[in-house]
Structures are given as C-alpha cells and as structure tokens.
Amino acid sequence: MPTAATTAATTAATSTRTHCPYCSLQCGMTLERVGRTLEVRPWPEFPVNEGALCRKGWTATGLRGHRERLTTPLVRDRVTGALRAAGWDEALDLVADRLRALQDARGRDAVAVFGGGGLTNEKAYQLGKLARVALGTSQVDYNGRWCMSSAASAANQAFGIDRGLPFPLADVERADVVVLVGSNLAETMPPAARHLDRLRERGGRVVVVDPRRTPTADRADVFVQPVPGTDLPVALGLLHLLDAAGAVDEEYVAARTTGYDAVRRSVAAWWPERVERVSGVPAAQLRELADLLAGSERVMVLTARGAEQHSQGTATVLAWIDVALALGMPGREGAGYGCLTGQGNGQGGREHGQKADQLPGYRMIDDPAAREHVARVWGVDPDSLPGAGRSAYELLDSLGTDDGARALLVLGSNIVVSAPNATHVAERLAALDLLVVADIVMSETAALADVVLPVTQWAEETGTMTNLEGRVVLREQAVAPPEGVRSDLEVMAGLAERLGSPVPFSTDPAEVFAELGRASAGGRADYSGISHERIRAEHGMFWPCPDADHPGTPRLFADRFSTPDGRARFVAVDHVGAAEQPDAAYPLHLTTGRVLAQYQSGAQTRRVRELPDDGPFVELHPLLAERIGARDGEPVVVTTRRGELKAPARVVATIRPDTVFVPFHWVGANRLTNDALDPSSRMPEFKACSCAVRA
C-alpha cells in the first residue's frame, strides 16, 4: 500500500497546476500526464475561473506533438531562397554576425526588436534588456501596443497608474449596474461571463454598448448599438444628462478629483439629440440609460478593444472614466472603471521593458532616476541606455527605409496577420536585410524570415504572467520540450553572449524574475515582494507588492489615487470621429473582432484539430445583403483603400445595416484596416474604417 509520501510524489510527477496559454483571464488548469498524452483537467480552487474553461482552454494541449511543430532552426539559403535546417550554433552565429555588421555600418538603431503580449514577464523583461544592453537599440516595441494601450494611456492620465482592473474580477458581481463598452465577454472570455450571470441573478443590470448584437449583448438588460467609432459621444451625452439631472456626486468630486469644471463645460454641447445624430443611439434610450446610472448605488464601467482600438481610443476611455468619476465610483468596492485586457500578458508585457518608452516597473525611459535605478540593477552605465524608440506600427512602417531598422528580431508575434494595413507591413518586412523569427510553428511571419528559431511553448516552460486583474500567476512546466527546441530565454542568452553583452543573461526563469523584481522596486508596477514561491502559495499575487511581507494589493484607489496629490483627474475630451468616414466610394463602416473558437492571429488555434476553423467571413445585415444581391454563405468582396478580402457572407440581423464585420484571425482582415494612430497611445484604428461590399 503506497504511503502518503509516495502518493504525493506520484501526483507531483503526473499532475501540474498551471494556466491557460491564451487570454488575459489566465484561467487556472491542471495538466495531467496520462501515458504519453497530456490532458487538461480543472483546477477548481483557482478563483478567477473556478475550474471552468472555454473550448480553447480545454483543447490547449492540441499543439503538443503537432506535425507542424518547429524543432530545428531554419536558415534561408541565399542561392535557392528556400529555408533549410541548421544547427543552433550556425543559426545564432549567423544572426549575431549579421546584426553586428549592420550596426557597425548603420548604427545601433539599424536593429529592431518586436515582442508580444503573450510572452511571460521574464521574457518581456529580458527582451527589453537584450535590446537596450546587448544591442544598444532604442527600436523595441510589441504587439500589446495594439491591445489596450489606449486604456493604459487614459488610466495613467486619470488615475496615475495603469492596471487593467484595479479590483478582482469577482467584484463585477457586487455592482448594481455593469456597463460593457466594446466587449464581447461571452465569446472572448467565456469563463468571465459567469460573473455577469451572477450579477443579474441578484438583481443587477448589465448594459452592453456594441455595434453588433453579440452573445454578450444577448445576456444584457440594455443593449446600445452605436455606429463604430462613436462610443465617445455616447459617453459625453451620458455625462451631459447626469450633470443636468444633478446626479453628479459633488461631494466625491470635490474631495477626490480635480478638473471637473472643464469637463462640465465641454459636455454641455452634447445634448441627447446631437448624440443621436452622430452615434445613431436614440435620444430616448440615452436618457433611460442615464436614469439607470443615476439611480444605482454601485456602477462599474468596463471598456475593451471595441472602445479602445481607434484613433480616438484614449479620448473615448477618458470620457467613460469621466462618467465613472462623476458618479463617485472609482475606489468603491463593486464599482469604478476597469479595462478588460485582451492578450495573456498584455498587462505584464508592457510593465517590464519591451515597450518603446518604458523600463521595468513601468518606469519611463526618459526619467533620469528611472534610468539610474535600472542601470544599477543591470550593472551598466545609465548613459549607455538608449532613449525612447518608435511605437509598434511606426517601427514596422520605418523598416528598410533610410532612417529605419534594417534587421528585425520577432518573438511572440505574427505581424503579417495582426498588423493594420498588413499588406504594407509585409512590404516593409520584405525590405529588411535580416528578419529573424522565434516561434513554435511556421506562422505567416516566420515563413518570410531569413532565420527561424524553434522555441518552447507554454506547457514546456515555467514563467509568470500578469492577468487582467493585476494578479501575477505562475505557469509551471509540465513536460519536456521536443529535442532541438530552446526557450526564448536561452535564445536571448545565446545572442547576448555572441553580441558581446557587458552583462550575463540568465536562462533560469526564477532568477530572471528575481532580477525583474529588483528592477521594478519602487516603480509604479512594483513586483519586488513577489516570488515564484509566493505565487505558488497564494494562487497569484496582486501588484504593487513592494516587499516580501506585503500581502499584495487586490484593490486600488480606496484611499487615494496614484497621482502626486492623490486625486483623480477629470480630462475634458471632444469627439472628432474616425480618421476615415464613409463616402460615395466606400459607403459603409468596417469593424473587426474575435470569434469564440479562435485566438489572435490564429497561429496556434487554427492548428488545433478540435477547434472549428471555418475561415474568415463577412457579417452583414439583411437590408445590406438585399441591396447588393448577397446571399448567406456565398462569397462577397469587401474593399477598403488598402486592400480587399473575399469571403463567405453571413447575413444576420444582429449588426447595424450600415456596418460590416470581419474576424481578424485569418490573413486578409488586416489588409483592410486603417493604420491611423491615436496621438497619445499610438494605437492603430482597427475598429473603424470605411469600406465597400459587393456580391
């Protein structure tokens, strides 16, 4: 009969608690080794998802042993133009030699680095260090710039800190009213939708603002359907009505905020009938929504990509924050404002250095004190660190030009599918002297590379992620990687050594995380009191956590905001509209988004056999379909000023008659989208451009 010790050892050898490889919920799961297979089991004790998973989570091991898995470095033959197998030393030597030659000829910024919001905190931190220390380049950014950067910019302006949710996700259930702006939670984060159901069971109300009637809107009590790109005037109109009705919490505004007088004057021009003309939202419905908010004790506003991926995304989020502040909600339990982060590590990915203007701990790279602190941790001279580089799209747009980078290292991103105006971006990649891509499969971007490096996937490595609540969780290695595959940390260490880095690069995730903690100490995103061991013991740790005795900070703003005077900032904004408006040639609005079975660029999920892959489609209203002669299931062509997409029509009554929807998981959708940028966040306008459709 086995003893307790042998039973525990057996369990430890066959079962690993970890987290889903996909979205920012970072749902807890158990990976069970059954013979030669790896199966997903629930982890009921993890509070974010309580054992529930979406279909992507349940099938997350589908790439293990996949025939398309990369297991050897590939180098493009200069004679034949084909990729051929190579050894690791050959591949890394080639990359380092060519990077050095380019930098010797054209300067440090001749090399650029592009990361991803799916990289662990350890990788994101090490990638920023690789760029600034080993390469000495300012040209580093990541695809998280396209995820929630507008919400981040707005939160920093209003609250002095950027954390997606300044409270645990479960606080949603405590609200009386939750307003979801541009979020299809039921399809993009299904386990989180249970909180909406529980809220409604206890008598709360859910409001959804979206140009499409999504499965999330089907669970709502109030559905508001504006024209794409007009969530901002809806917020301005609501605040106009709240102010006119005397529903503003004047005591809270006076005690905890600044700047409301300017906002009050600015929203005076946004009476309901004007909002209706601009947004298409009936004035009567706007008044009803204002009455609902005014009469509720706890109101929570949550924005997502539908509100943020616009050339006025930051202003849109600021307007909705202004609504929450006027009602006196931020800092109260079960109320306030939050952003529903998208990518798995969209939050932590930008906090620790792979963003063009930031150093670890959410320190700004142009702050002399920040440079001094981080340089001391790294063991380098602060003056050796480069300044701020270009934002993600601007970096890609400059590739191969006279003043742009001539080489690009890509980790954790499938740029060819995910970038706006993607045809142009592919042309810029083709203009490079060297493209290096580290990936687990031959993504569309890897297929263009001169060197492809096979790296570990989530179940084969250990590292931390920071979920949408600011909860730092630990993904644990469950299985050994295939022979010939290396971790991203090993790739970076190998390159750093070959490039003559003045400091060593560790390949141990726990060591890297400890260094990250020291680099973040005293910063806005302070992880210095968090360790892998504490995370294991606590089901995750909320930042800021400044020392080993600190319990972490699940809720922010109870007593003060993270501004110098402790007050939140109202910010007056106005509506300009999408950069591209419908006209005679392109008379319709185009918007993009996700579907239940796929994730981001689809490089992983499109290869999981158990997930349905029906390919791209074009969603349009029956009135529009009748006008152009389109039939459900038959091809239509969507055209914008940047390109066209041919795909089957889905004729549905759940979308506005003036709007077309295309999911972005396949090549084609982002050939259509506009690369106009938000002036503050540098977020591209994925969610609104003008288009034409023909059958």
Distance CA 429, CA 612 (A): 31
Distance CA 529, CA 338 (A): 24
The predicted model scores a pTM of: 0.95
Is the pLDDT score of 245 beyond 70? yes
Residue 66, class by beta-carbon neighbours within 10 Å (0-12 exposed, 13-18 middle, 19+ buried)?
middle
Token pair belonging to 464: 């931390």
In this prediction, residues 47-52 reach a mean pLDDT of 96
β 336-339/299-303 pair status: parallel
Q: Which of 232 and 346 is assigned the larger pLDDT?
A: 232
Cα dihedral 591, 596, 598, 600, rounded to 10, equals: 50
Is the pLDDT score of 5 beyond 70? no
In DSSP terms, 84 is beta-bridged to 75
In this prediction, residues 461-470 reach a mean pLDDT of 97
Classify each residue of 160-197 as buried b or exposed e, where b means 16 or more C-beta atoms within 10 Å of its C-beta.
bbbbbbbbbbbbbbbbbbbbbbbbbbbbbbbbbbbbbe
Is the pLDDT score of 688 beyond 70? yes
Percent of the chain with pLDDT over 90: 93
Distance CA 52, CA 33 (A): 20
Is the pLDDT score of 210 beyond 60? yes
- Average pLDDT of the residues of the chain: 95
Token pair belonging to 255: 């005690």
Contacts of 485 (CB under 8 A, 6+ apart): 70, 71, 454, 455, 456, 460
In this prediction, residues 663-668 reach a mean pLDDT of 91
What is the predicted pLDDT for the residue at 35? 85
Token pair belonging to 140: 């580093």
Beta strands in 86-235 (DSSP E): 111-115, 140-142, 177-181, 205-209, 222-224
What is the predicted pLDDT for the residue at 269? 97
* Opening angle at CA 675, ends 673 and 679, nearest 5: 135
Q: Could you tell me if 361 and 521 are in contact, meaning their C-beta atoms sit under 8 angstroms apart?
A: yes
Residue type, 10: T
Is the pLDDT score of 1 beyond 50? no
Classify each residue of 361-376 as buried b or exposed e, where b means 16 or more C-beta atoms within 10 Å of its C-beta.
bbbebeeeebbebbbe
Cα–Cα distance list, 114 to 353, 428, 670 (Å): 12, 14, 18
Is the pLDDT score of 36 beyond 90? no
What is the predicted pLDDT for the residue at 13? 53
Confidence tier at 342 by pLDDT (50, 70, 90): confident
What is the predicted pLDDT for the residue at 11? 42
Is the pLDDT score of 10 beyond 90? no
Q: What is the pLDDT of residues 409-454, one digit of tens each?
A: 999 999 999 999 999 999 999 999 999 999 999 999 999 999 999 9
Q: What is the pLDDT of residues 563-572, one digit of tens each?
A: 999 999 999 9
Contacts of 225 (CB under 8 A, 6+ apart): 210, 211, 212, 213, 280, 281, 656
Is the pLDDT score of 622 beyond 50? yes
Smallest CA-to-CA distance from 170 within 195, 147, 205 is with 195
Confidence tier at 610 by pLDDT (50, 70, 90): very high
Q: What domains, with CATH codes, occur in the chain?
A: 88-146+346-542 (3.40.50.740), 149-340 (3.40.228.10), 588-694 (2.40.40.20)
- Asked, as a colleague might, if the bond just before 544 is cis with ω within 30 of 0, I would say yes
Q: What is the pLDDT of residues 128-174, one digit of tens each?
A: 999 999 999 999 999 999 988 999 999 999 999 999 999 999 999 99
